[in-house]
Amino acid sequence: MKYLQIAYERGWRDYFFTEFNPAFEKLRSDNRYIKILKKIRTDIDSLNQKLTSTSLQRDK
């Protein structure tokens, strides 16, 4: 968990790798893991929304 937190703090946002990697299987019920994944998902959603907004603005 320590290294996952450090990776997140340093900008790592690979949600797919984390969520579907068997190496993280035992951590999936850990509240710290769930919180970090939620932060990653929120960051990704925010970035996607910014990209979508920017793309729409270019079409105008």
Supply the pTM of this predicted model: 0.74
pLDDT of residue 2: 93
Q: What is the 3 state secondary structure string of the chain?
A: CHHHHHHHHCCCCCHHHHHHCHHHHHHCCCHHHHHHHHHHHHHHHHHHHHHHHHHHHHHC
The mean pLDDT value for 16-26 works out to 90
| pLDDT grade for 56, boundaries at 50, 70 and 90 | low
Contact 8, 36 (CB under 8 A): yes
Cα–Cα dist 44/2, whole Å: 21
Query: pLDDT tens digits, residue range 28-38?
Result: 999 999 999 99
Cα–Cα dist 17/45, whole Å: 16
The mean pLDDT value for 9-31 works out to 92
